[in-house]
Amino acid sequence: MNRAARALYFTALGMWVGGMATLAFVVAPTAFRTVARPVAGTVFGAVLRAFGPMQIGLGIVAAVAVAVLMKGGELRLRGGVIRLGILLLMLLIACNAQFVLGPAIEHERASIPNFDSVPAGVPARARFDSLHAWSVRLASISLLAGLGLLIWSAATVKPADGA
């Protein structure tokens, strides 16, 4: 059971962090470099909406796996609680992006006719820019937290038999 929990934990966390990194460092720059900005924004927004449920599912799987590893003795209480805390933070950020910030950003963008020609000082555009900046900050925190957790876990999670 612990071997399966360990495999699920690393698979879920690796897919989650890898997915975030791929979106941030490959998909977004490529989309905004190759197609018109309005199209890139629409496409990337759709990609983020599709990735949100996957993030939430992977986070739940990783958290359950940590709980199983704690119960099975592979993780000490303190290390398990810290891991669960980081996963909870990442899950909260993912849920916020999926159910709060993402829809608010889409609403603001849709409420501005000719969005790309509106200067930054216009109140609706300023609200959009502020929401977008918060979204980027929170996604960055989640990515860094997940990467740190993945590295720390790879260095410290060992089977109970020492193998």
Task: Quote the pTM value.
Answer: 0.92
| pLDDT at residue 93 in the model | 98
Q: How far apart are CA 62 and CA 9, in angstroms?
A: 5
Q: Are 43 and 32 in contact (CB under 8 A)?
A: no
Distance (Å) of CA 137 to CA 112, 124, 144: 23, 20, 11
pLDDT band at 142 (very low <50, low <70, confident <90, very high): very high
User: For the residues 105-125, what does the mean pLDDT come to?
Assistant: 88
How does pLDDT run across 47-65, given as a tens digit for each residue?
A: 999 999 999 999 999 999 9
pLDDT higher than threshold 90 for residue 26: yes
pLDDT higher than threshold 90 for residue 115: no
Q: How far apart are CA 43 and CA 14, in angstroms?
A: 24
pLDDT higher than threshold 80 for residue 162: no
Provide the mean pLDDT of the chain. Answer: 93
pLDDT band at 117 (very low <50, low <70, confident <90, very high): confident
